[in-house]
Structure 1
Amino acid sequence: MIEIFNAVSNIAVDIEKDIFNGLSDEFFDVKIEDDELHSKIYTKCTQIIETELEKVRSVKGALSKDKKQMCTINPNGKYIVAYVSIDNVELLDVDYSLGTIFCVYENEISPKNIKASAYITYGPTFQMVFATQSEGVKFFSYEDSQFVQKESFRLSSSGKINSTGGDIAAWTSEHKDLMQSFFDSGYRLRFSDSLVLDTHQILFKRGGIYSNPATKNDPNGTMELVFECYPISFIVELAGGMAIDGKYRILDIESLNVHHKSPFYFGSTNEIQKVKLVFGA
């Protein structure tokens, strides 16, 4: 797993350098439409990720949220790496940090086979979280041209952050009442629309709740199990929190395919217990 950690570290440095520090030189010399710019960024990040993973003999293959097609790397390897190359690239326009998400599965894609999970935050906050069952959640900050390990995250039983997404006009009455109850209890709204950043904030602040609910428009939710829900749930649980779809533990739900979407709630245990009460778990 150390080889995968090193690959993720190298990927982080290359994307930070080539995309966030080199973006204006490489992509903004001529005016192009946003969709074309975003496509170029996704392509560049995918190239960086696959180039690094090709160096890891234990990685059998990789697939991205964007393409969802397995790229065979080393046929004799045992790990499959699913990743989000850039989490919500549209936020580049407003100078937000963005992130990359990785989930490492052994032999086949299943929450029971997760061996490691990681995410990276770029831009103003260049940091990395890498989690394994044996080592727990490790937090690294990039300082003096290297990642330096810092104090690991541990969620408190309650927090004060309420990070909720989805189309508000399409919220169900249950979710709307639940969110209002948190606000009435003094919770602060902190939502960036980047799963990486919203996760990082809850971990960094040691508690709170994130929600991307089922809505009237998206009754099955919008977050993808294989690429988003599984890796973040793995990290959150190792940090002492909980992650559910409203009723059931995310890591107990087997994906039907790589397109499988789900409502997503995670955070401190007290907040998630309140979610369970509302949705009858």
Structure 2
Amino acid sequence: MTGTDTVAAIRAAVAGATPDIRAGLPGRREQAGTENPSGERRLAADEYADELLAERLGAVDGVGTYASEEREAVVDTGEGYAVAVDPLDGSSNLKPNNVMGTIVGVYDADLPASGRDLVAAGYVLYGPITTMAFAHEGSVTEYLIENGEPTVLNGDVTLPDDPTVYGFGGRVPDWPADVAAYVDEVESALKLRYGGAMIGDVNQVLTYGGVFAYPALQSAPEGKLRLQFECNPVGYVIECAGGRSSDGSGSVLDVDPTALHQRTPVYLGNEGLIDRLEAALD
């Protein structure tokens, strides 16, 4: 199996798991009684999605390791690519029935790995309909997923030239002064769109143009989101769609990987907005 075939098989495995993930949500809204390696309380839905994806992706020929933000260490599945997954991004939105997603990054290197080692990445959005944005070989394709089968909606997704939305995570009083000043600057031209799930907010940016961020906070200088499972894969998608990613000083794909569950500040969106943000943070 070629690398391209393996990537296609990974994409198909994730798409194929979506009906089971969605069907498993209603009965798994309760706390699982455990924490993930980052110290966050898990829902039963987090554990269920993780186990399901570990089984499906681990069975793909050409996948050598499976890693999840719900697991302390990588799982050896054979030889080939390393797959890093956030099984249920925004699972805290399950209780109020808001949008959630699944994120996957395909690395041609042992984890933890640089974002430059990604060969493909994408995310599933569990909204009113189920869609997938998947980046490979420099372009992004959007799929509608019905009964686990993907159908192309847009074969060349790019950020619109005229951005209209923004969303920043963290509590406003916890933002550094330069972040707050940047938001004050852009909010007169952009509409606030923030729903508490990275994927939902990033998809707004991918659809309408704009900027998403989970910045460094005064109480958490490393931010909240994880490099391997969230920032690298989604940054890869945004860059393949013609946008920019940043950790505040340069592409998030260039952040030096030091630990599997490493966190980093992340800023994603139209090139001009990210350029202005990096200048504001200098």
Q: TM-score under structure 1 normalisation?
A: 0.89
Correspondence 1:112-131 to 2 at 5 A: 112-131=116-135
In structure 2, distance between residues paired with 1:55 and 1:10 = 13
Correspondence 1:45-124 to 2 at 5 A: 45-74=49-78, 77-108=79-110, 109-124=113-128
Structure 1 residues 277 and 8, CA, compared in 2 at 3 Å: closer, same or farther?
A: same
Corresponding residue of 1:18: 24
Corresponding residue of 1:164: 168
Q: Percent identity?
A: 24
Determine if contact 2:15/2:148 at 8 Å carries over to the other structure: no
What is the aligned counterpart of 2:46 among 42, 49, 56?
42
CA drift of 1:123 comes to 4.2
CA drift of 1:88 comes to 2.1
Determine if contact 1:212/1:265 at 8 Å carries over to the other structure: yes
Structure 1 residues 176 and 105, CA, compared in 2 at 3 Å: closer, same or farther?
A: same
In structure 1, distance between residues paired with 2:200 and 2:132 = 11
Larger Rg: 1
Give yes or no for the alignment of 1:174 onto 2:178: yes
Give yes or no for the alignment of 1:251 onto 2:220: no
In structure 2, distance between residues paired with 1:127 and 1:94 = 21
Partner amino acid, structure 1, of 2:165: I
CA drift of 1:144 comes to 7.0
Structure 1 residues 46 and 145, CA, compared in 2 at 3 Å: closer, same or farther?
A: closer
Corresponding residue of 1:242: 244
Correspondence 1:210-229 to 2 at 5 A: 210-229=212-231
Correspondence 1:196-207 to 2 at 5 A: 196-205=199-208, 207=209
Structure 1 residues 107 and 27, CA, compared in 2 at 3 Å: closer, same or farther?
A: closer
Write 1 or 2 for the structure with the bigger share of helix.
Answer: 1
Give 3-state SS (helix, strand or coil) of 1:121's partner: strand
Corresponding residue of 2:3: none
Corresponding residue of 2:143: 140
Give 3-state SS (helix, strand or coil) of 1:60's partner: strand
Give 3-state SS (helix, strand or coil) of 2:19's partner: helix
Aligned residues: 267
In structure 1, distance between residues paired with 2:167 and 2:43 = 28
Partner amino acid, structure 2, of 1:3: A
Give yes or no for the alignment of 1:187 onto 2:199: no
Structure 1: runs of 5 or more not aligned = none
Partner amino acid, structure 2, of 1:168: V
CA drift of 1:6 comes to 1.3
Partner amino acid, structure 2, of 1:147: P
Determine if contact 2:32/2:44 at 8 Å carries over to the other structure: no
Corresponding residue of 2:153: 150
What's the Cα RMSD here?
Answer: 1.9
Determine if contact 1:59/1:81 at 8 Å carries over to the other structure: yes
In structure 1, distance between residues paired with 2:258 and 2:162 = 33
